[in-house]
């Protein structure tokens, strides 16, 4: 399968690692939208949250927990945002499930 984030998780395309274990990989976003902006992806190819099923529940919880853990390590105690863009209307551009973690500046609401 020709998937950018699968290749990044496998190390076939270079990235700046933030965290990794046997289930997930976190790396710096190439076009950061905030002073801190990294992505968390499962090593397993899942197209989006929409395609995740009950067997992925623990994995999804792990991704969120790691998001918070890294945010604590990066000193984002004043707040940050965790975003999942899903499908065309959600603005998803890479069809491999990922969480954005953005911080280091005040966010606005509503999102565009």
| Residue ranges that bind ligand AMP, judged by CB under 6 A | 4, 13, 15, 29-31, 85, 91-94
> Where in the sequence numbering do the catalytic residues fall?
98
Give per-residue burial for 40-75: e unless 16+ CB within 10 Å, then b: bbbeeebebbeebeeebeebbebbeebbeebbeebe
Q: Which of Zn ion, ligand AMP, none is residue 85 near (CB under 5 to 8 Å by kind)?
A: ligand AMP
Tell me whether residue 29 or residue 76 sits nearer to ligand AMP (CB atom): 29
| C-alpha count within 13 angstroms, C-beta hemisphere, residue 79 | 4
Q: Which of ligand AMP, Zn ion, none is residue 6 near (CB under 5 to 8 Å by kind)?
A: Zn ion
Nearest to 99 by CA among 2, 1, 27, 22: 27
Q: Which of residues 38-97 bind Zn ion (CB under 5 A)?
A: 45, 96
Tell me whether residue 34 or residue 40 sits nearer to Zn ion (CB atom): 40
Tell me whether residue 20 or residue 81 sits nearer to Zn ion (CB atom): 20
Count of helix runs (H) and strand runs (E) in the chain: 3, 5
Interface contacts to Zn ion, rule CB under 5 A? 3, 5-6, 45, 96
């Amino acid at each position: 399968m020709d998937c950018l984030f699968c290749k990044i998780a496998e190390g076939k395309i270079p990235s700046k690692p933030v965290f990794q274990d046997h289930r997930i990989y976190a790396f710096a976003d190439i076009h950061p939208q905030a002073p801190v902006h990294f992505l968390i992806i499962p090593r397993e190819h899942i197209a989006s949250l929409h395609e995740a099923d009950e067997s992925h529940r623990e994995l999804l919880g792990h991704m969120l927990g790691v998001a918070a853990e890294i945010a604590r390590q990066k000193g984002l105690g004043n707040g940050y945002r965790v975003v999942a863009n899903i499908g065309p209307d959600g603005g998803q551009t890479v069809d491999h499930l990922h969480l954005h973690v953005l911080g280091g500046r005040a966010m606005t609401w509503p999102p565009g």
